[in-house]
Amino acid sequence: QSVLTQTPSVSGAPGQRVTISCTGSSSNIGAGYDVHWYQQLPGTAPKLLIYGNSNRPSGVPDRFSGSKSGTSASLAITGLQAEDEADYYCQSYDSSLSGVVFGGGTRLTVL
């Protein structure tokens, strides 16, 4: 059972917009800790997609955006492309566990 809850799967057609949610609690996201998002393509290591809730590292397309409100965070992907098909993970810090926590992951399927 993950401390951060993500919908197991989402799907969308090319060109569409999808959102992936990450729900936490008062000891992690709700406590003010930042949320980061990673993209994991099949058979590869995770890649940082969004840091500090809404910031994109250099090289990440602006089709990807992040937001945070209360005890939840969201990753939005617009203009879906076939190469976006991957697993997406949110990450934060939990004060009760005194450690890093990840969401359970969301598999994005591009129809």
Phi and psi torsions of 14, nearest 5°: -50, 135
Segment lying near another protein (by CB under 8 A), choices 24-32, 41-49, 63-71, 74-82: 41-49
Strands (E) in the chain, as ranges, are 5-6, 9-12, 18-23, 36-40, 47-50, 64-69, 72-77, 86-94, 99-102, 106-110
32 binds another protein (CB under 8 A): no
101 binds another protein (CB under 8 A): yes
Among 80, 103, 108, 110, the residue binding another protein under the rule CB under 8 A is 103
**Closer residue to another protein (CB): 60 or 76:** 60
98 binds another protein (CB under 8 A): yes
Among 68, 84, 89, 110, the residue binding another protein under the rule CB under 8 A is 89
Burial of residue 46 (CB within 10 Å: 0-12, 13-18, 19+) is middle
Segment lying near another protein (by CB under 8 A), choices 14-22, 23-31, 49-57, 69-77: 49-57
Element (H, E) at 98: none
